[in-house]
Structure 1
Amino acid sequence: MSDVFSSVFGLEGILLGTLVPFLFVLTVVVFVHEMGHYLVGRWCGIGVQAFSIGFGPELIGFNDRRGTRWKLCAVPLGGYVKFVGDMNATSAPDPSQVASLSEEERRVAFHTQPVWKRALTVFAGPAFNFILTIAVFAVMFGLYGRYVLEPVVAEVRPNSPAAVAGFQPGDRFLRVDGAKITNFGDVQRIVSGRAGDAIPFLVARGDREVTLTATPELSAQKDALGNDVKIAVIGVVNSQEVGQPRLIEYSPASAVTEAVRETWHVVERTGQFLSRFVVGREDRCQLGGPVRIADMAGKAAALGFEWLVQLVALLSVGIGILNLLPIPPLDGGHLAFYAVEAVKGRPVSERAMEAVYRVGFMLVLGFMGFVFWNDLFGC
C-alpha cells in the first residue's frame, strides 16, 4: 500500500509530478491572457462582471469592490472575462440582457463602446501572451546569458543533403536564404522548419565566397525534454573545437531586445509550421493537446523550475498566435468582425455573425478533437 501511495503522491507521481506542473503552466498562461482583456477593458471604461480561470462549476471566488466576481472553476482548460452586457458567444449583445441594463450599465457595456475600444480589449489578450514570453526570455537572458557557437562546419555527414550540395569542413556560414548568420544556432533555426525546400547557403571557403543549395530532410531526434521530434537537417555538424563556444552576457536593455528578437523567431517558426501543416507538408504528430502539454510540463518540472518557466513562455506565445487566427470564437475572429465594422461604419449583422460563428466553432472543435486524438491514439 505504501508503494502505491508513494507512486501516486510522490514528486515523480502523477499528481505532483505531472498534474501540478501542468496546472501551473496552464493557469499562468490563461491568467495572463485574460488579465490582458481585463486591464485594457477597464482602461477603456468597460465594466467587468466576472473574471474566471476555468469553466464550469465555481470552486472558489470573491467579489471585489467594483462588483467583479473573481473565480476559479472546475475545468481548468481556459478562462474568460465577462463584460457588462452579458455578451453571447459572438460578442453580440443579448437583447434580453440589454433591456434589463440600467443607464449606468449601458454606459459601460461592452457593445456600446466604440469599435476601437472593443478591438483593443480583444487584442490585449494575445498581446499579453507575447509580453509574458518576452518577459520570461528577458529574465533568462539577463540571468544566464546565452552560449553560442561559431557558424563553421566541423563535419559533413556522408550522403546527406549537405554532402550532395558540396559542403566541406571549414565552410563558414554567412547567409542562409538571404538571412545574415551570426552563430550556428541561426543556421539550425532557419533550416529546422524547411524540410523539402531548396535553400541557398552563402559560405566563406578560404578567401572566397561560395553559394550552395541544399534541401533539408527530416530527421528523428530527441528534444531537450526527451520528446521524439522530427526536424529538418542538412547534415552538417559543429564541434567544441571548431565552434569555440562562448557565453554572451546581456545588460537589462540588451536582454529585452534579445527577448523580443527570440519571441519573433518563435512566432515566425510557429507561423511557418502552421502554413506548411495546412498544405500537408508537416508531420501531424508534431501537434499535441492537453495530454502532451501535461507530459511536457512534468518533464520540464523534473529538470528544474527554469525549464518549467521556459515552457510557460513557449506555450504563451503559441496561445497568442492561435487566438489571433481569424476564426470565431477566437479573438482573431472577433477582430475580423470589428475590422469589417470599421470599414463599413456599422456592425456585421447578427445573422451573419451567427452563421460564421457556427462554422468557426466547428473548426475549433474539430481542431481540439484532432489534437486529443493525436495525444491519445494517433501518435
Structure 2
Amino acid sequence: MGEFIRSVWWMIVSLGVLVTFHEFGHYWVARLCGVKVLRFSVGFGRPLWMRRNRAGTEFAIAAIPLGGYVKMLDEREVEVHPHERGQAFNHKTVWQRIAIVAAGPVANLLLCIALLWAMFVLGRQDYSATIGRTTGMAQAAGLQAGDRVLSVDGRSVATAGEASMALTTAAMDRHDARIEVRDSLDQAHTRSLPLSQLPAGFNERHVLALAGVGWLSSLQPALVDKVLPDSAAQGVVMPGDLIVAIDGQRIEGADQVTPQIRTLGERGGPGMVEVLRGGERLALELTPRQGKDAQGAPVWQLGIGFAQASAPAYDAKLQYGPLAALPAALRETARMAGDSLGMMRRIVTGNASLQNISGPVTIARVANVSAQRGADWFLYFLALLSLSLCIINLLPIPILDGGHLLYYLIELVKGSPLSERAMAAGQYVGLALLAGLMGLAFYNDILSLPLR
C-alpha cells in the first residue's frame, strides 16, 4: 500500500508541474494578445481551490489531476458583451490564435530544456556501458566481458541505458548494429552485432538477452533464496545453493536461469542442474513444470527464487558547468525528441509493438522509482515526460493543440475558417482516436501489473 500511495503522489506532483507550465504557456500568450482568460485550471472536475485575480481570471485546482485547461472568452462558447468582443479568442487574427495554441507545447519544450540543464549541473549518476558477460550472438560477434561500448551505429553512448536504447532501436529496424568498443586493455575495436537475425516477433524488452549482452551493472549471481512448496525443486534444491550450470550450459548470472529452464522444458524430460553447496559441486536431476508468470502467461518453472541483490554503485556521472550544461541540454532534448518520434513512426509502420504505449499507471510507477533514485533521475524523468507532452499535443488530432493548429493552417490556405460542422466532425474523430489511445494505454498498463 505504501508503494501505491507513493506512486500516486509522485504522479500527481509530476503531472501538476507539467500541466501548470503547459497551461501557463497558453495563458501568458493569450494575455499578451489581449484575450480575456476566464479560468486557469490545473486538473478537471470540481474545483478544490479557487481564487480570482483583478483581471477576472479564476485560478483553480480541480479534483482530477490528469490534465488542465485555460478557458478563454469565445463567442462560440459563451455570450460576449459587445464591449468585450475585442478580447474574445475568436476575434483574434489567425496568427495570434496559432501563437496562443502553440504556446502550451512550446512551454513544455522549454521546461524540458530547463530541467535537463538543472540535471546536468547537478550531475546525473548512472552506469557505464561496460559489458559484464556475452553469450550466443554477442560472443560470436567478438564482444567480450570488460568491453566498454563507445557508440552504436555512429551514435555516441555514455551509459548502459543509452546503449540499450540504441541496440533495441537497431533490432526493431531489423538491421545489424555497428558497435565501437574499448576493451579491458584500452584497445579500440569495431564489432557487428547481427540483430537482423533475431526471430520474427521477438520481445522488444528482451533484446539484450536475446543478443547475449549482459551489462556489468546488471549481473546478479544465481544464488537460490527460496524454494516454493510443491514445486519441481522442492526437496532437491536448497536455499543457499549457487546455480553454476543447467543442462551443460554454464550459468554466470540469475538472468540466464529462466531462458535455460525454458529451453529444458521445451525439450521435455529431466535435465541436470549443477549447484555449489557448501564448497561441493552437485549435479541435481530436475524436470521443469509449466506454470504462469506474474502476468499470467505460461512459463516453465523449477519453483526457485533468487535473493534480491542490492543496487551496484554508480560508475558513471554526466555533469557539466552552468554554461556547458545548456548546449548539453539542447543536444539531449534533440536526442530524446528523435527517439520519441522514431518510436511513434515504428509503431505506425508496425516495426514496434503497441505495448510501447503506456498510460498513467506506468507513469506513476516510473515517477516513484525515479524519485527514489534521487533528484537527478527525477529531473530527467520530468524532462522526458514534459517533452512527451509537447510532442503528443502537437499531433494533428482534433481536440489536441495540434488539431487546432491544423484547423488554423487550413484557414490560412483557404482564406476563411472551417465551418462549425467540419470542426465538430473533427472533434468527434479526435475524441474517438484519443479514447482509443487511452484505452490501449490502460490495457497495456493492466497487463504490466503483477498478478497476486
TM-score calculated relative to the size of structure 1: 0.78
Q: Hey, what's the Cα distance between the residues in 2 that align with 1:171 and 1:58? A: 56
Q: Hey, what's the Cα distance between the residues in 1 that align with 2:159 and 2:444? A: 35
Gaps of 5+ in 2: 218-314
- Residue 295 of structure 1, CA deviation: 2.5
The answer to whether the Cα contact below 8 Å between 2:43 and 2:66 also exists between their aligned partners in 1 is: yes
Q: Hey, what's the Cα distance between the residues in 1 that align with 2:366 and 2:329? A: 22
Q: Secondary structure at the match of 2:169?
A: coil
Q: Hey, what's the Cα distance between the residues in 2 that align with 1:344 and 1:123? A: 21
Provide the residue aligned with 1:198 in structure 2: 175
- Residue 328 of structure 1, CA deviation: 0.9
Q: Hey, what's the Cα distance between the residues in 2 that align with 1:156 and 1:14? A: 35
Q: Hey, what's the Cα distance between the residues in 2 that align with 1:308 and 1:180? A: 23
1:84-95 aligned at under 5 Å gives the runs: 84-85=73-74, 93-94=76-77
CA deviation string 1:180-201 (max 9, x = no partner):
6677765444223232421352
Q: Hey, what's the Cα distance between the residues in 2 that align with 1:272 and 1:30? A: 24
Further displaced range: 31-40 or 136-145:
136-145
* 2:194 is equivalent to residue 230 of structure 1: no
Q: What amino acid is the match of 1:368?
A: M
CA deviation string 1:3-40 (max 9, x = no partner):
xxxx6xxxx3644x233222111111111111111112
Q: Secondary structure at the match of 2:361?
A: helix
- Residue 339 of structure 1, CA deviation: 1.2
Structure with larger Rg: 2
Q: Hey, what's the Cα distance between the residues in 2 that align with 1:54 and 1:79? A: 4
Q: Hey, what's the Cα distance between the residues in 2 that align with 1:183 and 1:27? A: 30
Q: Hey, what's the Cα distance between the residues in 2 that align with 1:336 and 1:123? A: 11
Provide the residue aligned with 2:256 in structure 1: none
Further displaced range: 25-34 or 165-174:
165-174
* 2:445 is equivalent to residue 375 of structure 1: yes
Provide the residue aligned with 1:123 in structure 2: 102
Q: Secondary structure at the match of 1:62?
A: strand
Q: Which has the higher helix share?
A: 1
Q: What amino acid is the match of 2:171?
A: A
- Residue 207 of structure 1, CA deviation: 9.4
Q: Hey, what's the Cα distance between the residues in 1 that align with 2:9 and 2:146? A: 48
- Residue 122 of structure 1, CA deviation: 0.9
Gaps of 5+ in 1: 1-6, 87-92, 219-227
Provide the residue aligned with 2:383 in structure 1: 313
Corresponding residue pairs, total:
343
Provide the residue aligned with 1:297 in structure 2: 367
- CA separation of 1:79 and 1:183: change in aligned 2, threshold 3 A: closer
Q: Secondary structure at the match of 2:324?
A: helix
TM-score calculated relative to the size of structure 2: 0.66
Counterpart among 417, 420, 424 of residue 347 in structure 1: 417
Provide the residue aligned with 1:254 in structure 2: 324
Q: What amino acid is the match of 2:178?
A: F
CA deviation string 1:76-100 (max 9, x = no partner):
11110011116xxxxxx34xx3xx3
Q: Secondary structure at the match of 1:52?
A: strand
Q: Hey, what's the Cα distance between the residues in 2 that align with 1:297 and 1:185? A: 17
Pairwise CA RMSD: 3.3
* 2:29 is equivalent to residue 40 of structure 1: yes
Q: Secondary structure at the match of 2:417?
A: coil
Q: Hey, what's the Cα distance between the residues in 1 that align with 2:141 and 2:214? A: 15
Q: What amino acid is the match of 1:29?
A: L
